[in-house]
Amino acid sequence: MSTRAGWWTTLSALVLLAMLAVACGGGRTNADDEFVFGVVLAGPHNDQGWSEAHYMGARYVEQKLDGIRFIYQDHVNPTDRPNTTLEQVVDDMINDGAQMIMTTSEAFAADAGVIAAKYPDIPFVQISGDHAKTGIAPANAANYMTQMEYGKAIGGCAAALKTQTRTIGYLGPLVNDQTRRLAAAAYLGARDCYRTYRGGNPNDLRFVVTWIGYWFNIPGVTLDPTDIANDMFNARADVIISGIDTTEGLLVAGQRADRGESVWAVPFNNEDACNVRPEICLGVPYHNWGPAYLRFVETARAGKHAQFWEWEAPNWPAINDRDRSAVGYQMGDGLSSEEVAILEQYIRALGSGQAKLFTGPLRLQDGTLYLADGEDAALDQIWYLPQLLQGMEGASN
pLDDT 10s digits, 349-383: 999 999 999 999 999 999 999 999 999 999 999 99
Of the two residues 13 and 225, the one the predictor is more confident about is 225
Residue 23 pLDDT grade (very low, low, confident, very high; cuts 50, 70, 90): very low
- Out of 20-24, 29-33, 170-174, which region has the weakest mean confidence (pLDDT)? 20-24
Give pLDDT tens digits for 56-82: 999 999 999 999 999 999 999 988 899
Give pLDDT tens digits for 281-303: 999 999 999 999 999 999 999 99
> Stretch 208-218: mean pLDDT, rounded?
94
Ordered DSSP codes for 35-86: EEEEEE-SS-TTSSSHHHHHHHHHHHHHHHSTTEEEEEE---STTTSTT--H
Residue 49 pLDDT grade (very low, low, confident, very high; cuts 50, 70, 90): confident
How many Cα atoms are found within 13 Å in the side-chain-facing hemisphere of 225? 29
> Stretch 304-315: mean pLDDT, rounded?
96
> Stretch 143-149: mean pLDDT, rounded?
97
Q: What is the pLDDT of residue 392?
A: 98
Give pLDDT tens digits for 86-108: 999 999 999 999 999 999 998 99
Q: Spell out the domains of the chain, with CATH numbers in brackets.
A: 6-146+289-312 (3.40.50.2300), 148-286+329-393 (3.40.50.2300)
Q: What is the pLDDT of residue 163?
A: 98
Q: What is the pLDDT of residue 32?
A: 52
Residue 1 pLDDT grade (very low, low, confident, very high; cuts 50, 70, 90): low
SS3 of the chain: the string is: CCCCCHHHHHHHHHHHHHHCCCCCCCCCCCCCCCEEEEEECCCCCCCCCHHHHHHHHHHHHHHHCCCEEEEEECCCCCCCCCCCCHHHHHHHHHHCCCCEEEECCHHHHHHHHHHHHHCCCCCEEEECCCHHHHCCCCCCEEEEEECHHHHHHHHHHHHHHHCCCCEEEEEECCCCHHHHHHHHHHHHHHHHHHHHHHCCCHHHCEEEEEECCCCCCCCCCCCCHHHHHHHHHHCCCCEEEECCCCCHHHHHHHHHHHCCCCCEEECCECCCHHHHCHHHECCEEEECCHHHHHHHHHHHHCCCCCCCEEEECCCCCCCCCCCCCCEEEECCCCCCHHHHHHHHHHHHHHHHCCCCCCECCEEECCCCEEECCCCECCHHHHHCCCCCECCEECCCC
Cα Rg, the chain, nearest whole Å: 21
User: What percent of the chain has pLDDT above 90?
Assistant: 87
- Out of 21-25, 149-153, 330-334, which region has the weakest mean confidence (pLDDT)? 21-25
Q: What is the pLDDT of residue 33?
A: 82
